[in-house]
Amino acid sequence: MDSILGHPANAGVGAWLCRKRGSSASIVGLEAFCDPYDAYIGCGSHPEVVERVWDQLGHGLSDGRRRVLCGTPVLVHPETGVVLAMGYGTSYGFRLPEVFLPEAVHAGCKTSHRWHDGKVTDLSTEVGPDWVFGCWAKDEMAWCQAAAYPPTS
């Protein structure tokens, strides 16, 4: 678990989530819950968002991808420890390779979100330039896979 918290690629997302939740840096797996279903309903995100992050965006990743970072459901690459996606209330965000940004924006993904109370969250400045809010686009799974397995030079 320390490889996840200490991974340089996770510095932005970890600091932001812990600050938003008012908690110290912690990450647990589903084994921390008496019933894994409790993680889907008890981590501050809508259960459909948790399902989107863990089960749909994480489809094709091996076991160990479902984690809870600072009380928030996150999708973690099981081998590298890089956080790939996160639930956020009724929304979710994910790491997006820059090459896909125009396509993702065209599909409806955004770097910022205006909430019902008028506040704005900009993931590109709060978490990192490679983060966007998801929009339930069909290509998000492929973009998440591209973030998980970037091409090697």
Rounded alpha-carbon distances, angstroms, from residue 10 to 45, 93, 115, 128: 20, 14, 25, 9
* Per-residue pLDDT, 2: 65
Q: Does 12 score more than 60 pLDDT?
A: yes
pLDDT value at residue 147? 92
pLDDT in tens, 24-68: 778 887 777 777 777 888 888 999 999 999 999 998 887 778 898
pTM above 0.75, yes or no: yes
Domain membership of residue 26 as a residue range: 2-148
pLDDT value at position 38?
79
Half-sphere exposure of 89 (CA within 13 A, CB side): 8
Q: Residue 69 falls within a domain, yes or no?
A: yes
Residue 40 lies in a domain: yes
Give the model confidence (pLDDT) of 97-135 as tens digits.
999 999 999 999 999 999 899 999 999 999 999 999 999
Domain presence at residue 153: no
Q: What total number of domains does the chain contain? A: 1
Q: What is the pLDDT of residue 39?
A: 80
- 76 within a domain of the structure (yes/no): yes
